[in-house]
Amino acid sequence: MKITDPTQIANLQQEYQEKYQQFNAPKYNSKLSESSRILKIIRVKKFKTPLEQTFETLLTMLATDMHANLKYQDLSDDSFYRAGGKDQKRIMHLGHFRENNEVMLEWFTSEAWITKTFKFQGKSKSRKTKLVYFVIIKSLKAKAGYLEQIMRNNYIKAENIRFDIQMWELMRKLGLLDCITEEKYHYQLSKMQLRLSKVRTFSK
């Protein structure tokens, strides 16, 4: 849920500033080692729907993903949220919420700083929207070992499948899959979910 207590917000802002400094500080003299701390994923998707509709539909989905009781209207720039479900201890920061333009969500784990950004592009009165999705993960340690490379590659695979699942669900909510049957929709969805479960199992 959205965190509204002023004292807690001030503490979180201070904590995030300290984390920014910790993760941005160089850890190695080697440029190769430093670069291996950063993982980037970029995906692009185009929709034949208006910008405003695409933005609000996806952000409504993202809000529900964060917490079942969270609504689109609860989202605002530079706000903090507590995740629901099994991730209740996770505090996430909505660093940017620029309506019909850009959204950036970030959080920290004990080893990584994770940011996920959605950028929307579309012209006024146009029924076409371009979505650009960025994931940037900055770790405290270099990820250059053989096992670490396997885990890194599996994370990329899993994140790409998660994006595909999310976009498949978004297309349905936008009415872009009305031409296919309910059975075919769920069949394709289950195939992607199965692929994701296999990547996760292999990554452990």
Average pLDDT, the chain: 91
Look at the block and give the residue holding tokens 């669900």: 169
pLDDT at 202: 46
Global pTM value? 0.88
More confident residue, 124 or 106: 106
Q: Is 175 left (phi over 0), alpha (psi -120 to 50) or beta?
A: left
Checking if the pLDDT of 201 tops 70, the result is no
pLDDT at 121: 96
**pLDDT band at residue 200, thresholds of 50, 70 and 90?**
low
pLDDT at 83: 86
Strand ranges for the chain from DSSP E: 38-47, 79-82, 91-98, 102-108, 112-121, 129-139
Which CATH class name applies to 1-143? alpha beta
**pLDDT band at residue 203, thresholds of 50, 70 and 90?**
very low
Domain boundaries, given as residue ranges, for the chain: 1-143, 145-204
**pLDDT band at residue 107, thresholds of 50, 70 and 90?**
very high
Look at the block and give the residue holding tokens 């769920």: 186
CA dist., res. 68 & res. 59, Å (int) = 13
pLDDT tens-place string over residues 16-75: 999 999 999 999 998 988 998 999 999 999 999 999 999 999 999 999 999 889 999 999
Q: Is 32 left (phi over 0), alpha (psi -120 to 50) or beta?
A: alpha
pLDDT at 147: 80
Range scoring the smallest mean pLDDT among 81-90, 128-137, 147-156, 157-166: 81-90
CA dist., res. 154 & res. 147, Å (int) = 11
**pLDDT band at residue 149, thresholds of 50, 70 and 90?**
confident
